[in-house]
Structure 1
Amino acid sequence: MNLVSRNINLLLFLLSNFLIKGIGYITQLLLIVFISVEEIGYVRISFNYLEVFNILLGLGLVTALLQVNSISWIDENEKSDNLLYAITITLVVSVPILFVLIYMASSGHYSSVERVNNIICYVSGVSLLTAINSLLIAHLQSYDRFKTISKIQLQSKIIGFIAFLICSWNWGIDGFIISIYISMIVSLYLNFVGCSDIIYKRTISFHRFKKFFVKNLSISSYSLFSNLLGTTNKYLSMFIIGYYSFDEYIFGYFSIALIIVLALDIITTTTQQFYLPKMVEKSKNMNEWTKFYLGIEYKFIVISIAVFIFLNLFAYICSLVVHINDLIIRYIFLLSLSWLLSSFYSLKGIGLISLGKVKSNFYAQLFITPFYIISSLYLVDLFEVDGVAYSRLLYVILSLLVFMYIFKKNYVQKN
C-alpha cells in the first residue's frame, strides 16, 4: 500500500473511530438523563474495574498477535492459525478467571457500596466478549482492513445506541448493561463475518499450537502484566475511594467530568492501534524507524496541546453561557492536564513494543506501582474526591519521567 493510500486509510480510520467512540461517550452522557448523579459515580467505578477485567481476560494476546502477524513474510495460513490458537487460549484460560471475578463481585470484594458490586457482577461477562472481539480486530488489522473494522464497529455501536435508549429508558442501569451486551454480541458476529475469508479451516496441529504458545508467551505475559499494572494504577485512586465513605454527589460530578475527558483517549488509542504494526514493519531499519517515530510523536504532541486548550476554553465558555457546576469545570481541567502530560509518553510504550522491548513496559509499571499506591492512599485519605484527581496527575508525572528514561536507554541500546 503506497503512502497516499495509507494516509487516506488513516484519515478514514480516525474519523470513523471518533464517530464510533463519540456514540459511546454520548451514550454515557445521556445516561445522566436516566439515572441520578450518585449512580453515575457507581457506574464509573464499576466500569473502571471492567477495563481491568478486559486486560486480564485478554491475556496480552492482542499485542502478541499484532506483532507476529504484522511480519511481512508470514503466510496467510499461519496468520489464520495464530488467530485460532489465540482464541483457544483465551477461552480455556479466561473463562475460569471470569467465574472467579464474578464470585468476588457477588461476595462484595470490590467496594463498600453494594450497588457497585452488583453492577460489576452483571457486567463482567462483557470482558470475555471484548477479549475475543479484540483478537478478531487485530487479525483484520494485520491485513490493513481498517475500513472493515470501522464499518463493523460503527454498525454495532449504532445498534447498541438504539438498544441503550430503549433499555435504559425502561430499566435504568440494568437496561444500560443489557444494551452493552447487545452491542458486543452484534460486534462479535460481524467481526467473525468480516474475518470469514481470511480464516482458513485447517486441522488444529498440537505441534503448531505449542510453537505459537511458547513463541508468544514472553510477549503476551509482559504485555498482560504491564497493561494490567498500568490500567490498575490509572484507576487505583478510584478503587481506593470505593472503600471510603465519600460524598457521593461530588463524586458524581467528578465522574461526569471523567466521562467527558475520557473521550480524549480516542486520540491516544486510535493512534496507538494504527501505528503499532507500522512501527513493527520498520523496526529492522533503525534509520527509517527513527524518522517515522519522531514524525508521528511530534504531530501527536502538537495535536494533544491544541485539544487540551480547546477543551478547557470550550468548557469555560459553556460555564458562562449555561449553568455548569464549578466542580465539573475544575475536574475537567485537572483530568485533561493529566491526559496532556500522558501524550508525551503514550507512543513510547508502543515504540518499545515495536523494538521488541516488551519487558520494559512491565518494568516501568512495576517501578511506579509501590510509590503510587502509597501516595494514592495518602491523597485520597486527605482530599477525598479531589485526591482522586491529584492522584491521577501524580501517576502521569511519574510515568512520564520513568518512560522517558527507559525509552532513551532502550533506544540507545538498539542503535
Structure 2
Amino acid sequence: MYTEVFSRVMMRSAPAPLKVLARGEGARVWDVDGADYLDFLAGIAVNALGHAHPAFVGAVADQAATLAHVSNYFATPPQLELAERLTRLTGGSRVFLCNSGAEAIEAAVKLARLTGKPRILALENAFHGRTIGSLSLTGKPALRAPFEPLLPGVEHLPTSLDALEAALAAGDVAALVLEPIKGEAGVVELPEGYLAGARELTERHGALLILDEIQTGAGRTGDWFAYQHEGIVPDAVALAKGIGGGFPIGALVTFGAASDLFGPGHHGSTFGGNPLAARVANAVLGEIEDAGLVENARRRGAELRARIELIGSPLVTDIQGRGLLLGIGLAEPVAGIVARRALDEGLIVNAANESRIRLAPPLIIGDDELHEFTRKFTVALEIPHTDPGEHA
C-alpha cells in the first residue's frame, strides 16, 4: 500500500523507498511491517543521538508548548543561547541561523560575493547541496548538467595544492569552499596536508576559506569539527545535519574579519533560528557534550574500523574517514548489492556510489551495536566474485 501511494503522489525526483519506516529508538528503527534494523546511517549523519532520545523529545515537547516561532524582528533565549554555543564550540565570532545545509551554503555564497571578487573555487567530486547556489559549487557534472547555466564565476579544481595555487594566482578569488572529508563521494579523505596548505594559500592570496562541515560536524569525526584535527582556523564554516539531531536547522559561523561582511538586509530567513529549532539544537549539542559523545565517536570509530579490517574480506580495498564517518572502498562495483544484503540482514548502510559504502551511525553506539554490525556486515560482504562487466 505505502509503495503504491509513494509512486502515485511523491515527486519523481525521489527514488523508490528501500523500506517504509514507522518508528525508532536508540540506534534501531522499525518498518511498517514490524521488522527492525540496526541504523548505521543515522539519516545520513543527522541523528547524532539516535532515535527518540529523551533529550531531543523533551526539548521538542517543552519548547513547542512554550514558544515555537516568532518573526526575525525579535530574538529569543534559545536562539541566543545557540549562537553563543556555536561560537564557543567552533571558536568563531558570529552566527547566521537557517533551516538546512543547503541554506547554510547559500549564505556562504553570499558571504563570498560580498568580498567583491568574482570567482569562487570548489573541488571536483564534492557535494554541497541541490539549490542553485549550492549546486553550482557541487563538483558532480551529472547533477549540475540539467540545471545549467548555474552561478557564474564558480570553478571546480582537482584536489591538489598545485591546482589551487595556480587558480589563486590572479588574486581575484573570493573564496575556496570545500568539505574536510568528501562525504557524498563515499567518505573520501583529502590528501595529507591539503587542508593546512589550503588555509595557507587562501590567506596569502586574500581569499576566504569556507568549510562545509554539514556532514562532518557536531562531533562525528571524533572532534567537534573536522578542521580542528588539523589545527587551522577557517573564515567560515557551514553546519547542519547533526547539530539538530533530526530537527531541521542549519548555520553559517564566521570568524575574524569575515564576520564584518554581512550587513543589515544582506540576508534573512523566516524560520531560521526559530525558538523550537534552536532549543532542540541546544539540547542535542548539550547532550553530545555532557555525555562525552565526541570522545565516544573517536573511540568507537577506531573500534569500528578495526572490526571491518578483521573481517578480512577480499572485497574491501580501503577504509577512509574519521570517527563515526567511514567510507569502505570495494574491489568491485557492487556497493548496491552489499547495501541490499545488509538491509536483508537487518542493517542499514549506504551505497554512496557503485564502489563505496558509507557508515555514519549515531554517536551513542556501544559494544552491542558494534557486535551486531560486525556479524551482519560480514554476511553482507559475502557475495560471489563476478566479472565487473556484469555490474556495468
Q: Which TM-score band applies after superposition, normalised by the shorter structure?
A: under 0.3
Bigger helix share? 1
TM-score (norm 1): 0.26
TM-score (norm 2): 0.27
Bigger strand share? 2
